[in-house]
Amino acid sequence: MGNYADAIRDADKSLSIDKTNETAWRARGLANHHAGDLVQAVLDLNRAISLSPNDWSLYVYRAQAWYEGGSYADALNDFARAIAVAPDNDEPYYWRAVYENMSRDFDASIADLDRAISLKPNYANAYKARSEAWEGKGDAGRAKTDRLRADQRGLSPRTWLKALPRGLNGPLA
């Protein structure tokens, strides 16, 4: 469990002083997620969201926990909420696309990655994820083109591996 138990204890101390501390709920939710307690992670993130309903990242974090727990519809709903809160932010589109790739919904993933790239043209991770979607669709040419674009924008294997969700590469970065 690593330092996650310490992080959870620290968040609990903060929450014993102030139950409205959104940062502590977020930290505890993320620590529980990394520790593998997805149910508690969702509960903690629910509290954080109730305190900061316009923070798109909280919906993305909760979506990741939902997805890893097998609640795919809830995950997609939260990705949609993140996008509704921050329609001009590239990250919610990117993260939804990563999970769409894992679900083999390559067309939806490509559409989300197109939007993420339109918002952040040098988004190396988005090009890499889109190359994976093209590969999943059997389009080796477009996959190769997007891999090259990712490399040109400074994507290193280490950067890509850190960006992957737990199900593909250990804990979320």
User: Is the confidence at residue 172, as pLDDT, over 90?
Assistant: no
SS3 (DSSP) at 34? helix
Distance (Å, whole) CA 103 – CA 72: 9
What φ, ψ does residue 7 adopt, rounded to 5°? -65, -40
Average per-residue pLDDT in the chain? 89
Question: Could you tell me which residue, 46 or 3, shows the higher pLDDT?
Answer: 46
pLDDT in tens, 91-140: 999 999 999 999 999 999 999 999 999 999 999 999 999 999 999 999 99
pLDDT 10s digits, 142-170: 999 999 999 998 876 555 455 555 443 33
Q: CA-CA distance, 82 to 167, in Å (whole number)?
A: 21
For the stretch 45-71, what's the b/e string if a residue is b when 16 or more beta carbons lie within 10 angstroms of its beta carbon? Answer: bebbbebeeebbbbbbbbbbbbbbeeb
* Reported pTM: 0.82
- Spatial distance between the Cα atoms of 15 and 29, rounded to a whole number of angstroms: 12
Question: What's the pLDDT at 159?
Answer: 54
Domains and CATH numbers, the chain: 1-86 (1.25.40.10), 88-173 (1.25.40.10)
Q: What's the pLDDT at 169?
A: 36
